[in-house]
Structure 1
Amino acid sequence: MDSTFGLTPQEWQAVALSLRVSLWATVVSLPFGVAVAYLLARRQFWGKQLLNGLVHLPLILPPVVTGYILLMGFGRRGPVGGFLDDCCGIVLAFRWTGAALAAAIMAFPLMVRAIRLAIEAVDPKLEQVAGTLGANGAWVFLTVTLPLILPGIVAGAILAFAKAMGEFGATITFVSNIPGQTQTLPSAIYSFLQVPGGEGAALRLVLIAVGIAMVALVVSEWVGRTIARRIAGI
């Protein structure tokens, strides 16, 4: 089989699909992550602890359980999946979009935690001063809070991206392991380890996964420090 840079077409497909899934999982979930983190950090309301528990539940549950819940809820016979299929023709189960959904849910707690810590580090008096000058809540958030928490948002997004890249249990349960369609990097590594002679391909993909994770962490640190210096006026 022809290969480029030592990778076969199937391996390239797994890498490209993982990057695609992780990018969409991060981009789509980021606004929700900021909103949930702000609610948990700055608001008091009935059910706050319940929301906090639901957000962090994927960290506690076995990933296979999360994948099964997604399959029951978002599969074609599930209440949400059936509705989306009937009204919009959207199918998530056994599609790459379903892999993005599973990855987003598994990575969401890490994203929310990083952003929440950044919000809690902002002195509420700064927001209160802006409010006394006549700015409404949304404008205070956009002009005061958001610039100050940008390092946390960047860190949360990159951590979520890296987590999405490594998601396996929930993804394979919800969308299976179809080469070229739902076979992400971890699924491809698992598949290669199940066949004789597949250790070389698995090792190549493992090295790529480690490389992407390291790059993500380095970029997260660099971007976070750069934004922090600019905010501080250094």
Structure 2
Amino acid sequence: MTWLGPEEWQAVALSLKVALWATLGGLPLGILTAYALARWSFPGKQLLNGLVHLPLILPPVVTGYLLLLTFGTRGPIGGALQEIGITFAFRWTGAALAAGIMAFPLMVRAIRLSVEAVDPRLEEAAATLGASRMWVFATVTLPLSLPGILAGAVLAFAKAMGEFGATITFVSNIPGETRTMPSAIYAFLQVPGGESSALRLVAVSVAIAMSALLLSEMLARRAAARVAGA
């Protein structure tokens, strides 16, 4: 990417960093949430399902503002975390948090569909052999759901790379700290002569997004073939 300038490359590198941490940080909770929605019956299940998908429905700016109210330095959670040296507002970690929340619904849905495709009879057979519920999950459900988990992670990563509204509301647009690719594109378009830089970043964004979608589709096909052959 030598055709990218230093400021452009900085935005790409920060976007990759934010998207990676957003995906890795949300994956354990995403697997647990998807499994709960796919296999468990409990009061408030539909409420949980609604909360998971809420970021897809709300305007991203609203999500970012809610994060600022909650995780800002004067927020109930952000204020407590600041006392132990953890700050999200106007930091790259806050960008990762915002991107992770916006990407979470896509991750959960892909993983949930994969879990639901696992034949429950396989889990029941393992249970009848004396395996605990946790062992059944670790040795049967999780391996069979792995392609869907990978697909969900890829989709979440792509979504996190392109997140803008919630991120800029929560952590602003600080060069070198919170200026990811979408924020950099927006900033370049606000100054005369910045169109070429914005266009290069758009090309990078499209390339990453298309690669992620193709990879996700490939993993989904493999998952379907694996379940059909089980």
TM-score range, shorter chain: over 0.9
> Post-superposition shift, 1:230?
7.0
The aligned counterpart of 2:33 is 36
Q: Deviations over 1:31-55 (max 9, x none)?
A: 1000000000000001111111110
Q: Are positions 1:212 and 2:208 aligned together? A: yes
The aligned counterpart of 1:84 is 81
| TM-score normalised over the length of structure 2 | 0.95
The aligned counterpart of 1:113 is 109
What secondary structure sits across from 2:149 in the alignment? Answer: helix
The aligned counterpart of 1:103 is 99
Identity of aligned residues (%): 72
2:5 pairs, out of 1, 5, 8, with 8
Letter in 1 for 2:81: L
Alignment length (residue pairs): 230
The aligned counterpart of 2:120 is 124
User: Where do residues 121-160 of structure 1 align in structure 2 (5 Å cutoff)?
Assistant: 121-160=117-156
Where does the alignment leave 5 or more consecutive residues of structure 1 unmatched?
A: none
Letter in 1 for 2:12: V
> Post-superposition shift, 1:225?
4.7
Q: Deviations over 1:183-217 (max 9, x none)?
A: 00000000011111111000000000000111212
Rounded to whole Å, the distance in 1 between the matches of 2:85 and 2:29 is 24
Rounded to whole Å, the distance in 2 between the matches of 1:203 and 1:225 is 33
Query: Is the 1:25–1:100 Cα contact (8 Å) retained in structure 2?
Result: yes
The aligned counterpart of 1:19 is 16
Letter in 1 for 2:19: S
What secondary structure sits across from 1:90 in the alignment? Answer: coil
Q: Deviations over 1:130-166 (max 9, x none)?
A: 1111000010011111111111101100000000000
Letter in 1 for 2:6: P
1:47 pairs, out of 40, 44, 47, with 44
Rounded to whole Å, the distance in 1 between the matches of 2:222 and 2:118 is 18
Query: Is the 1:67–1:172 Cα contact (8 Å) retained in structure 2?
Result: yes
> Post-superposition shift, 1:105?
0.2
What secondary structure sits across from 1:26 in the alignment? Answer: helix
Rounded to whole Å, the distance in 2 between the matches of 1:104 and 1:12 is 22
> Post-superposition shift, 1:29?
0.4
Query: Is the 1:119–1:145 Cα contact (8 Å) retained in structure 2?
Result: yes
Describe the shift of the 1:108–1:83 C-alpha distance in structure 2 as closer, same or farther (beyond 3 A): same
Rounded to whole Å, the distance in 1 between the matches of 2:215 and 2:37 is 27
> Post-superposition shift, 1:21?
0.2
| TM-score normalised over the length of structure 1 | 0.94
Rounded to whole Å, the distance in 2 between the matches of 1:114 and 1:56 is 12
Query: Is the 1:147–1:231 Cα contact (8 Å) retained in structure 2?
Result: no
> Post-superposition shift, 1:218?
2.4
Query: Is the 2:104–2:156 Cα contact (8 Å) retained in structure 1?
Result: yes
Where does the alignment leave 5 or more consecutive residues of structure 2 unmatched?
A: none
Rounded to whole Å, the distance in 2 between the matches of 1:53 and 1:226 is 29
Letter in 2 for 1:48: K
Rounded to whole Å, the distance in 2 between the matches of 1:176 and 1:169 is 10
What secondary structure sits across from 2:43 in the alignment? Answer: coil
